[in-house]
Chain A
Amino acid sequence: MTDFLSQLDPVSLLSITLITATPLVLAAMGGMMCERSGVVNIALEGIMLTGAFIGYGVAFFTHSVWIGLAAAIVSGMLIATLHAVLSISFLVDQIVSGMVINILAVGITGVFYRTYLESATTVGPGTFPHWDVPVLSAIPVIGPIFFQNQFVTYAMLILIFVVHFILFRTVWGLRTRACGEHPRAAETAGINVYFVRYVNVIASGALAGLGGAYFSLQQIGNFLPNMTGGRGYIALAAMIFGKWTPLGAFAASLLFSGSDQVGSRLQSVFHVPIPLQFLGMIPYVLTIIVVAGAMGRAVAPAAVGIPYKKG
């Protein structure tokens, strides 16, 4: 039993789960801001990839991960602005627009990585420092899991509450939800639907851009083409699984990344011969089940996906 426990090493398991959930939660909350205001965002993957790339590129040339961080966020906002312009102003189908951004992000990061970063073998800008929160980090179990992390993970933990508060307690949140449910009603109440949607889409870019910084500036200190590896889509799944709420998305992300870690452990530590492919399917299959309503229907904002036309 004690052997099992030491092999399971739950504290490290949970700590890794929390860390790897970081970009999922951030991107999922980005998707949430966006979709709560009525705009589908399947561009999370592309935005994260762009954020990871620009963040690293800027950090590389400025030698500051912090400037890189700012750049990651700003670049996320910029590329999200493209999504906003296309889908809100030009009434392009939101899924098409999101998809275009994903393709574009692969192209841009791939081409410019090749040109400017690939052959660089000098030491990179490094990663965000580890910060142990005084006192709290010394608490057993809780401390190592929550209070011995790096910037993006702390930011994620704080942002869960911030986004929840914004969505459900503030004027902005009320207006956002109104635009996502019934934009015309919002407009007759004197709300500028376009403005609300633009801001939320751009905010989603900031969150996903921050999520991108996780890859290049928090975990690796380097950029690699395609390094987000489809996590933007898992984040989308986490958002749905979490029923468009920050806490729900957090729980879903933990479930997804946790199942990943448990799967690896089964192979490496417990030598359980489950094909890894099946473990890899968990997030996707769970999402399908949820979308199919088996765990209580996930109700998307009513107007999500529908371009809003004035008048």
Chain B
Amino acid sequence: GSTPTTGSSCSKTWKVGLVTDVGKLSDKSFNFDSYKGVQDAQADSSLCVQGRAIESSVESDYPKNIGQFVDQKYDMIVTVGFKLGDATIKAAKANPNIKFVMVDYGDFTDNPTPSNLVGLLFKEDQPGFLAGALAGLLTKSNVIGAVAGLQTVPPVVHYVQGYENGAKYTNPKVKVLKIYQPESGAKDFNDPDWGKQQATTFFGQGADIIFGVGGNTGNGGLLAAKEKGKMCIGVDVDQYVSYPDVDSCLITSAEKHLDKAVKTAITTMVQGSFKSGLLTFEMANDGVGLAPYHDFDSKISADVKAKIADVQAKLKAGSITTGVTS
């Protein structure tokens, strides 16, 4: 759906451009979800947004693709993934009239943040922790697994470590099997078959819950759980909606609302409330969380639900930490 919905009520069409990293839009992960935020904003006729994306194929494309939007006088440019960090900061400094949104990057520590740049940072360890806490309570075998994307991508690691710590928090006896996908170019975040086989291996080791973290690769893990009648936990978005094929095994999803965050950033611009700096999405501001239990709502005991609500409250309040340092 690329036709801009410029209704008559729009005095100005806000042009929002998104630049992917080399993972491309089809990754069912960072790029896909971020662009969904742009598309959602476009679909929202009250915002008068027209969104476009450019996919990068090599690293040196990043500055250039950002430049394409700059040249077209876009109002806002969204860059996805920490790999575009350097290029984004540089472009932001050079183009103070354009708003920049950086997804998954918050490394402004030694740079003064340009006033037109906002970084979206997610505490993935928190929903990971919560998902782990749930898994720890629901596992019957005391073995759970996580099938993850690249270890070199920090959010992936945050999710997994949070998951592991969360599970041990509610169930000290639990054993967590985890595997990260080996780097291989085209298959990064895009190898569901591999993810599926890893999950199957974990079932052989007694696991009964799989957390799939890492785009299509993680989705493979979910699929395996569905086929083998095990439980599974989705990631990033409520996968009950985004990946209905596996709804029957999905107990919940560890959510980081990339799409909502991106849409929020766009909305602040449209409404004139854009603020630069770091937007941290965490439990405390409901920026991350756990998706509904959906089909499992009736199968999960009230006791478990209460415990999870308790953990969530404590994370919110900061009275417990996930033990994950980023």
Q: Do chains A and B touch in the complex (CB under 8 A)?
A: yes
Q: Give A contacts to B, CB under 8 Å.
A: 6-7, 9, 11-13, 16, 19-20, 113-114, 118-119, 121-124, 126-127, 130, 215, 219-222, 224-227, 229-230, 261, 263-265, 267-269, 276-277, 279-280
Pair B204/A9 contact, Cβ less than 8 Å = yes
Which residue of A has the minimal Cβ distance to B187?
A229
Pair A126/B201 contact, Cβ less than 8 Å = no
Pair B205/A279 contact, Cβ less than 8 Å = no
- Shortest B85–chain A CB gap in Å is 25
Contact of A229 among B183, B186, B244 (CB under 8 A): B186
Contact of A123 among B26, B201, B245 (CB under 8 A): B245
Cα distance, A122 to B241, chains bound together (Å): 9
With contacts A7-B205, A12-B204, A229-B191 taken as known, whether A219 is within 8 angstroms of B184 at the C-beta atoms is no
Pair B198/A220 contact, Cβ less than 8 Å = no
Ordered by A's residue number, 6 sampled pairs between the chains whose C-beta atoms are within 8 Å are A221-B223, A225-B24, A261-B201, A265-B201, A268-B145, A279-B182
Q: Which residues of A contact B219 (CB under 8 A)?
A: 220
Cα distance, A119 to B40, chains bound together (Å): 13
Q: Does B257 contact A (CB under 8 A)?
A: no
Cα distance, A215 to B194, chains bound together (Å): 11
Cα distance, A6 to B186, chains bound together (Å): 34
Identify the interface centre among B25, B185, B190, B204: most chain A CB within 10 Å of its CB: B204
Pair A19/B201 contact, Cβ less than 8 Å = no
Pair A268/B197 contact, Cβ less than 8 Å = no
- Beyond known contacts A13-B204, A229-B191, A230-B186: 16 more, CB 8 A cutoff: A20-B193, A119-B1, A215-B193, A219-B192, A219-B196, A220-B193, A222-B245, A224-B26, A227-B191, A230-B185, A264-B197, A264-B198, A268-B198, A269-B177, A269-B201, A280-B182
Pair B196/A229 contact, Cβ less than 8 Å = no
Identify the interface centre among B182, B186, B200, B219: most chain A CB within 10 Å of its CB: B182
- Shortest A68–chain B CB gap in Å is 15
Contact of A268 among B183, B184, B186, B202 (CB under 8 A): B202
Pair B193/A122 contact, Cβ less than 8 Å = no
Which residue of A has the minimal Cβ distance to B220?
A220
Q: Does B141 contact A (CB under 8 A)?
A: no
Nearest first, the 9 closest Cβ-Cβ pairs linking A and B are A12-B204, A276-B182, A268-B179, A229-B187, A9-B204, A226-B186, A123-B244, A219-B193, A220-B192
With contacts A124-B245, A224-B26, A261-B201 taken as known, whether A268 is within 8 angstroms of B178 at the C-beta atoms is yes
Q: Does B242 contact A (CB under 8 A)?
A: yes
Contact of A121 among B178, B184, B196, B241 (CB under 8 A): B241
Which residue of A has the minimal Cβ distance to B196?
A219
Which residue of B has the minimal Cβ distance to A17?
B197
Q: Which residues of A contact B204 (CB under 8 A)?
A: 9, 11-13
Identify the interface centre among A121, A124, A224, A225: most chain B CB within 10 Å of its CB: A224
Q: Which residues of A contact B116 (CB under 8 A)?
A: none
Cα distance, A226 to B216, chains bound together (Å): 12
Pair B242/A118 contact, Cβ less than 8 Å = no
- What per-residue 1/0 map shows which CB atoms of B1-43 lie under 8 Å from chain A? 1000000000000000000000011101000000000000000
Cα distance, A246 to B299, chains bound together (Å): 49
Cα distance, A126 to B223, chains bound together (Å): 10
Pair A222/B192 contact, Cβ less than 8 Å = yes
Q: Summarize A's interface: helix, strand, loop or mixed.
A: helix
- Shortest A43–chain B CB gap in Å is 17
Q: Give B contacts to A, CB under 8 Å.
A: 1, 24-26, 28, 145, 177-180, 182-187, 190-193, 196-198, 200-205, 216, 219-220, 223, 227, 241-245
- Shortest A258–chain B CB gap in Å is 11
- Shortest B119–chain A CB gap in Å is 27
Which residue of B has the minimal Cβ distance to A278?
B182
Cα distance, A248 to B245, chains bound together (Å): 37
Contact of B245 among A114, A221, A227 (CB under 8 A): A221
Contact of B244 among A20, A121, A219 (CB under 8 A): A121
Pair A261/B197 contact, Cβ less than 8 Å = yes
Contact of A220 among B25, B183, B196, B205 (CB under 8 A): B196
Cα distance, A279 to B24, chains bound together (Å): 27
Q: Which residues of A contact B197 (CB under 8 A)?
A: 16, 19-20, 261, 264
- Shortest A59–chain B CB gap in Å is 13
Cα distance, A276 to B187, chains bound together (Å): 14
Which residue of A has the minimal Cβ distance to B204?
A12
Cα distance, A60 to B227, chains bound together (Å): 19
Cα distance, A114 to B182, chains bound together (Å): 26
Q: Which residues of A contact B179 (CB under 8 A)?
A: 264, 267-268
Q: Which residues of B contact A220 (CB under 8 A)?
A: 192-193, 196, 219-220, 223
Contact of B192 among A123, A227, A276 (CB under 8 A): A227
Q: Which residues of A contact B180 (CB under 8 A)?
A: 267, 276
Q: Which residues of B contact A230 (CB under 8 A)?
A: 184-187
Pair A224/B205 contact, Cβ less than 8 Å = no
Q: Which residues of B contact A16 (CB under 8 A)?
A: 197, 200-201
Cα distance, A243 to B191, chains bound together (Å): 29
With contacts A121-B241, A220-B192 taken as known, whether A229 is within 8 angstroms of B184 at the C-beta atoms is yes
- Shortest B302–chain A CB gap in Å is 30
- Shortest A57–chain B CB gap in Å is 14
Identify the interface centre among A130, A219, A280: most chain B CB within 10 Å of its CB: A219
Cα distance, A127 to B200, chains bound together (Å): 16
Cα distance, A282 to B24, chains bound together (Å): 28
Pair A12/B216 contact, Cβ less than 8 Å = no
Pair B191/A9 contact, Cβ less than 8 Å = no
Pair A280/B201 contact, Cβ less than 8 Å = no
